[in-house]
C-alpha cells in the first residue's frame, strides 16, 4: 500500500496590487508582486482510495468537503486533462482564514495539483499543471510553486522567480470574510475601461532589505479602498498595524480582509504580533517570514 503524500499550502501575500483595467469580457487585468508566508494549510493524499475530501483544523468550520471544494475541483480537472491518473482521498488541515485575501483556497487547489502530479510522476514543470491551475482559479498558477514573483493578466502570466530580502511580517485577519466579487463591484470599472499602464518588474535581488521596503512603500494595493467600503473592519486593522512599534509598512493583501505589517527583524515582528493578539483576542494574528 502506497504511503500518504503531504504538502503545505502556504499563504499568498500580495505585497502590492495594481489594477490596470477591466477587459471587455469583464475580467480585471492586474499586476501584483506576490510573496509567500511560512504559515499555511496542510494537505495529505492517501493514494488509490476513492476520491474524496475530509477537512479538520482550527479554520475548518463552515467549509464543505463536497464537489465544489477547490481541492476536488483541481484533482478532477487534472484527471480530465490527463486520463488514467491515480487519485485518492484528501485530508485538509485548515489553518488559514477563508475568503481573506491570502489565497487559502487557491493554495489548497495548487497543493492538490502538486500531490496528484507527484503520485503520477508528472514533472512540476509540465505545462499541463499550469494550464489546469489557470482553469481552476486566478491565483492557483502562482501558488503552484509558491515562490515570490510578479503575476499579471488575470493571474495567468507569471514573471521569473524573485529573490526577496528577508521580510519579517505580521499577518492579521479580523474575522471578516470578504467576497472578491463584491470588492471588484465596489471598484466600479466598466468593461473595456483602462486606468493604468504596465510597469517594469522590480529587481529585489539587487536591493538591500531597507531599499526594497522603501521601493515597496511607493506602491499600493488598488483594491484597498473598495475593500474598506465593503468591510470597514479593515480600517482598524491597518490603523493598529501602522501603530505597532517598528512597523515599516502596513498594507492589505489581495481583496482583503487580511492585512500585513513589515518589520526590520524577527524580534520586532514577534513582539508586535504578541502585543496585537493581546489587544484584539478575536483576530487571527500570525508572525511569519515572507519569501
Of 94, 12, 7, 9, the residue nearest 290 (C-alpha): 12
- What pLDDT score does 200 carry? 61
- What pLDDT score does 62 carry? 87
- Domains of the chain: which residue ranges? 5-158, 167-290
Give this prediction's pTM.
0.96
- What pLDDT score does 198 carry? 78
Of 173, 127, 237, the residue nearest 13 (C-alpha): 173
Q: Which overall architecture, per CATH, does domain 167-290 show?
A: 2-Layer Sandwich (3.30)
Distance, CA of 99 to CA of 134 (rounded, Å): 19
Same fold yes or no, 5-158 and 167-290: no
**284 to each of 125, 156, 159, 258, 273, how far by Cα in Å?**
35, 30, 31, 9, 10
Contacts with 258 (C-beta within 8 Å, 6 or more apart), sequence order: 97, 100, 101, 102, 171, 172, 173, 252, 284
DSSP annotation string for 102-149: S-HHHHHHHHHHHHHHHHTT--TT-HHHHHHHHHH-TTHHHHTTT--E
- Which uninterrupted H or E stretch holds 55? strand 52-56
Q: Which overall architecture, per CATH, does domain 5-158 show?
A: 2-Layer Sandwich (3.30)
- What pLDDT score does 67 carry? 82
Catalytically annotated residue among 16, 41, 108, 139: 139
Q: 160-175 burial string, b = 16+ CB within 10 Å, else e? A: eebebeebbbbbbbbe
Residues 225-256 have pLDDT tens digits of 999 999 999 999 999 999 999 999 999 999 99
Asked if 139 is an active-site residue, the reply is yes
Asked if 12 is an active-site residue, the reply is yes
Stretches where the chain sits below pLDDT 50 are none
Catalytically annotated residue among 12, 16, 94, 286: 12
Task: Determine the 3-state secondary structure of 10 from DSSP.
Answer: strand
Amino acid at each position: 500500500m502506497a504511503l500518504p503524500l503531504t504538502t503545505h499550502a502556504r499563504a499568498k501575500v500580495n505585497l502590492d496590487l495594481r489594477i490596470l483595467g477591466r477587459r471587455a469580457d469583464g475580467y480585471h487585468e492586474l499586476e501584483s508582486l506576490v510573496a509567500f508566508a511560512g504559515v499555511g494549510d496542510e494537505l495529505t493524499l492517501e493514494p488509490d482510495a476513492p476520491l474524496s475530501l475530509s477537512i479538520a483544523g482550527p479554520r475548518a468550520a463552515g467549509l464543505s468537503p463536497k464537489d465544489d471544494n477547490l481541492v476536488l475541483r483541481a484533482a478532477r480537472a487534472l484527471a480530465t486533462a490527463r486520463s488514467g491518473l491515480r487519485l485518492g482521498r484528501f485530508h485538509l488541515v485548515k489553518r488559514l482564514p477563508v475568503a481573506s485575501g491570502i489565497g487559502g483556497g487557491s493554495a489548497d487547489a495548487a497543493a492538490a495539483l502538486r500531490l496528484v502530479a507527484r503520485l503520477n510522476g508528472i514533472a512540476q514543470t509540465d505545462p499541463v499543471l499550469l494550464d489546469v491551475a489557470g482553469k481552476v482559479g486566478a491565483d492557483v498558477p502562482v501558488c503552484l510553486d509558491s515562490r515570490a514573483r510578479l503575476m499579471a493578466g488575470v493571474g495567468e502570466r507569471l514573471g521569473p522567480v524573485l529573490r526577496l530580502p528577508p521580510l519579517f511580517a505580521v499577518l492579521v485577519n479580523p474575522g471578516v470574510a470578504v467576497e472578491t466579487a463584491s470588492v471588484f463591484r465596489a471598484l466600479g470599472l466598466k468593461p473595456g475601461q483602462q486606468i493604468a499602464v504596465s510597469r517594469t518588474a522590480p529587481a529585489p535581488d539587487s536591493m538591500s532589505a531597507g531599499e526594497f521596503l522603501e521601493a515597496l512603500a511607493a506602491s499600493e494595493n488598488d483594491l484597498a479602498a473598495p475593500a474598506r467600503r465593503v468591510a470597514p473592519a479593515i480600517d482598524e486593522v491597518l490603523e493598529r498595524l501602522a501603530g505597532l512599534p517598528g512597523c515599516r509598512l502596513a498594507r492589505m493583501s489581495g481583496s482583503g480582509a487580511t492585512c500585513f505589517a513589515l518589520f526590520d527583524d524577527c524580534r520586532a515582528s514577534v513582539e508586535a504580533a504578541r502585543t496585537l493578539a493581546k489587544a484584539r483576542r478575536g483576530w487571527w494574528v500570525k508572525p511569519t517570514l515572507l519569501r
